[in-house]
Amino acid sequence: MQDGLPIGRLAERTGVKVETIRYYERIGIMPMPDRTQSGHRRYGSAHIARLRFIKRGRELGFPLEDVRSLLGLEDGPPSCAEVHEVAIRHLDSVRQRIENLRSLERTLASAADACALGDVPDCPVIDALSSNQTIGTWD
């Protein structure tokens, strides 16, 4: 096959690094492309579409296993119930991360306020970083 894009052009067109494309091929979420007589990979429009799907899923924070599941659902007969299940599971995970980040924000703000006017040797942030103190104990 001489038609199609070489891997470098696919990477440029999709904004996905060459190493990442090869990784996706190794783990089986990106189909192996045809190769030229000299062994160079050649990617067609289906590869571009699939890689964009994977990239968008990753941008939305889906773990690769969920992207794999969604790809399987895209490739087979569509099942909104299964897609819904994957999306809700991911949404729950995102909400938990948001909650954890808000807690971290409050803790860091409290620590920053506590050491805003103090000397570095008495700074709670420095003390916590140089000890086994957990972040949640700054409040």
- At 17, which CATH number? 1.10.1660.10
In a domain, 96, yes or no: yes
pLDDT in tens, 75-92: 667 678 888 888 999 999
Tell me how many domains the chain contains.
Answer: 2
Mean pLDDT over the full length of the chain: 85
Write out the residue range of the structural domain in which residue 17 sits: 1-60
Last residue of a domain, one of 26, 60, 94: 60
Whole-structure pTM value: 0.71
List the end-to-end C-alpha distance of the chain, in Å, as a whole number: 64
pLDDT in tens, 33-71: 999 899 999 999 999 999 999 999 999 999 999 999 889
In a domain, 66, yes or no: no
Task: Specify whether 44 is located in the same domain as 92.
Answer: no
Give the model's pLDDT for residue 138.
47
In a domain, 87, yes or no: yes
